Amino acid sequence: MVEKGSVSIHFVAAALDGLRAQGMEPAPVLRKAGIAPALLHQPSSRVPVQAYAALLREVAQLLDDEFFGQDSRRMKVGSFALACLLALEGGGDLGGALALLCRAYNSIFDDLRVSVRRDGRRAALDIAPARPDHPPPVFAVETLFVYIHGVACWLVRRRIAIDEACLPYAEPAHSAEYFVLFSTQVRFGQDQCRLWFDASLLSLPVVQNRRAARAFLNQAPESFLVKYRNADGYGRRVVNLLRRRPPADWPGADAAASALRCSPATLRRLLRQEGTSFQAIKDRLRLDLARTALGRPDLSVADISAQLGFAEPAAFNRAFRQWTGTTPARYRRQAG
């Protein structure tokens, strides 16, 4: 469920709960998807998004449930495709398409209700329990938000930036994943369960068609686990600019804007439209480089810290813990 094509093992483990509830052994299913069962015991491990998508398809087929046992009523195989086609055919703009998508989901689920609401210049995608005393599982919230957000991005062929995520449960151990899943602004333990975004985006026209939907659905769920990215967008240009230099020599936001021949304000605006920021791009690139470097036993944590452009190892430790929920040393031990 991340942009770089890998998924935390936490999501893999959660996807297997429905199988276990039916008395099924998960190990054969994991192996069929190309995931080593031993990774379940390594909290910091990750799997390719293609393997995770294969696992979800296999679990959905075995349970005949595209929501993996997260609701009292099964979401029978094929329901997701019908909901997407309904949104595509009936929604002239994003707001109309999302309203239809929510109606489709509400006709399927017994335990959840999804809706889109406006509040001035902001809009929100809401998930609410059908009964106040029956809150949805964490994996149900994560999955449904990722699915609907992924479909929304595909419908308008651009990344829908999430300004803030409000979640009704305590911060989970894998909360660092939410940095990419949803937003850099995440609040746990809230009364509501919603994703806030710019209300003006609801007026964006739906630009996909039935032919494009066929390819999108054939590649599901991989097609929406990896968020929509514009290969020619400014986010990709910033990534390419930074990758040409070592992290210690990365430019600041103003210098990057100058190199890309735009003003700093324009760069901030364009990146925000793509659902990211200059700092977020730098953090994700540093995290990727850190994970790779921590796999090399010949490099000390101090060496890696210097390579990544941190002034001291303590600063690297703080940043890595913020990104992943663990320290570089612990990550290295668990990965080994």
123 forms beta bridges with 118, 197
Distant-in-sequence, close-in-space partners of 183: CB < 8 Å, separation ≥ 6: 162, 163, 164, 165, 195
Do residues 140 and 59 share a domain?
yes
Residue 141: name the closest of 129, 153, 130, 124 by CA.
129
Per-residue pLDDT of the chain (336 residues; tens, 9 = 90+): 444 568 889 999 999 999 999 999 999 999 999 999 999 988 878 888 889 999 999 999 999 999 999 999 999 999 999 999 999 987 689 999 999 999 999 999 999 999 999 999 999 999 999 998 889 999 999 999 999 999 999 999 888 888 899 999 998 888 878 877 887 788 999 999 999 999 999 999 999 999 889 988 988 888 777 655 555 578 888 988 998 999 989 999 999 999 999 999 999 988 877 767 899 889 888 888 888 888 788 899 999 999 999 999 999 999 988 887 788 888 887 665
Do residues 211 and 76 share a domain?
yes
Do residues 70 and 172 share a domain?
yes
Do residues 268 and 330 share a domain?
yes
Which of 206, 224, 242 is at the close of a domain?
224
Which of 224, 245, 274 is at the close of a domain?
224
Do residues 170 and 216 share a domain?
yes
229 is a domain residue: no
Do residues 81 and 143 share a domain?
yes
Do residues 166 and 37 share a domain?
yes
241 is a domain residue: yes
How many of the other CB atoms lie within 10 Å of CB of 225? 22
CA atoms within 13 A on the CB side of 68: 25
1 is a domain residue: no
Q: How many structural domains does the chain have?
A: 2
- CATH code at position 257: 1.10.10.60
Range of the domain at 52: 6-224
Do residues 327 and 265 share a domain?
yes
